[in-house]
Structure 1
């Protein structure tokens, strides 16, 4: 285990640069010098939980790729997972009022549509976003009983995916959930925790993936709607373009991409067509685009 002399000492400038380059190549996320304190603390925690007694030995094992559990813990420590139910709910309004009706029309209308409507939440963190989508569809989409829907969630962090599968939430996660929906879809589990209804949990399929990993993202295809909110802001220009191209490939022609309120695809890539809706700007894969 880490010695007292090593613990909390922080990284040297050289070590920080080596680590920053390594993590960027693995995830597409680039930490600036302003994040030194955050990175130092999280790496220190990783080393403390490992069989290594210094940054040098831990980092060597990490780079040799012979201890994949070290890499996953590192990713889990350094990725941000701030979320709650019905966050930026106006975008779910756009999905219900504009995106889904348009998707259904493009696919032949409600009586002719072939295959399910597919919705992806990426990154899905601890599950609040994809589960929110499921609840909104059940409560407010009048075609939910006539058209099959697949909801998928994906994240790079294995720990938050495990928590999403368990689907137990505290008061902060439920702060925006109306009382009638809370009573309908959540059961008190004691100690201020609430268990999500098994039917909603079973309606969402969860995956582990990095949006910048082009090879892994090839498994995601033919989605009608993708929510990818508040993640591109952590990428540099190159990683943002790669992520945009992977999201483009995951959408059907005409499919909709929702970004966070502070994100703009026009600053990243011209491959999407912006659509100005009442609730804000969303992005579409052009209808006539080659697959």
Structure 2
């Protein structure tokens, strides 16, 4: 007997199939969709069902569950469901706290090692990671230092775009033109390419924040930006991600979350620190 009943109707996401697909996506990525987000879930996943020419969501689930041996289609499904909206210099209060307060503190505390490590977790197409690199350069505090910035995301597609480092005009809507002129070169098609000096500062990797040991190869960080990521997790996945971020920070390191995010409802070892420009968390 088949797990799901056969259907010849138009693509309709039944309750049982929704729950099965949702749980499969959740266990792989931590992304959580409740009934309020069901329509968005269905609309975005419908594109994958149609792309593979399945006649039902049920058949698509069975394919993911039993035939997608290399996990490539599951990754495409996660990619379709994840939100990748971002742009340069997004949420400026946090960036002001980083550039004007955190960086001077790190310049003093790390003066013996002359090394700086920053992680942009959930970096999407790379705008945040490159923004942080620009702020480090603009500060003028880390000349001849060993500066490494890691950008990570669960999506190989957006990591490839970040690595390419080429952006449309809309990505610069919150960024000063002088900075665009300094750190990007305009291309014939109207896009803007990151200059080599900035590109060399940033390395991009695929990282799943809720996967066991996902941070082991990354090293210890002075600052982690994880903005507008935890809001898409339920409490269990959020706790796993917080544990990953805590392990990856050195003692005294800083965690910067999105403006709408907080650890107040989570069991967390971080302490909340009030800076002049924003609130951040510290290990």
The question of a shared fold, defined as TM-score above 0.5 by the shorter chain, is answered with yes
Please tell me whether the aligned partners of residues 28 and 236 of structure 1 are also in contact (alpha carbons under 8 angstroms).
yes
Using the alignment, how far apart are the partners of 1:170 and 1:100 within structure 2?
Answer: 29
Q: Distance in 2 between matches of 1:93 and 1:144?
A: 17
State whether residues 214 and 244 of structure 2, in contact with CA within 8 Å, keep that contact through their aligned partners in structure 1.
no
CA distance in 2, matches of 1:19, 1:48: 16
Partner residue in 2 for 1:120: 119
Identify the range of structure 1 (117-126 vs 38-47) with the bigger mean alpha-carbon deviation.
Answer: 38-47
Pairs within 5 Å for 1:116-155? 116-139=115-138, 141-155=139-153
For 1:180 and 1:142, the matched residues in 2 are separated by: 16
Contact 1:244–1:269 (Cα < 8 Å) also in 2:
no
Shift of 1:103: 2.9
Query: Which of 24, 35, 41 lines up with 2:26 in the alignment?
Result: 24
1:68 to 54, 71, 93: 71
Deviation at 1:53, TM superposition (A): 4.0
TM, length-normalised to structure 1: 0.89
Whole-Å separation in 2 of the counterparts to 1:185 and 1:146: 19
Q: CA RMSD in A?
A: 1.7
- Counterpart of 2:209 (choices 208, 211, 218) is 211
Give yes or no for the alignment of 1:85 onto 2:88. yes
Aligned partner of 1:94 in structure 2 is 97
Structure 1: which 5+ runs fail to align? 286-291
Would the alpha carbon gap of residues 10 and 201 (structure 1) be closer, same or farther in structure 2, given more than 3 Å must change? Answer: farther
> What is aligned with 1:35?
37
Partners of 1:63 and 1:166 in 2: CA distance: 33
Counterpart selection for 2:231 from 226, 230, 233: 233
Number of residue pairs aligned between Structure 1 and Structure 2: 275
Q: Which segments of 5 or more consecutive residues in structure 2 lack a partner in the other structure?
A: 1-7
> In structure 2, how many angstroms separate the alpha carbons of the residues matched to 1:137 and 1:274?
23
SS in 2 for 1:154: strand
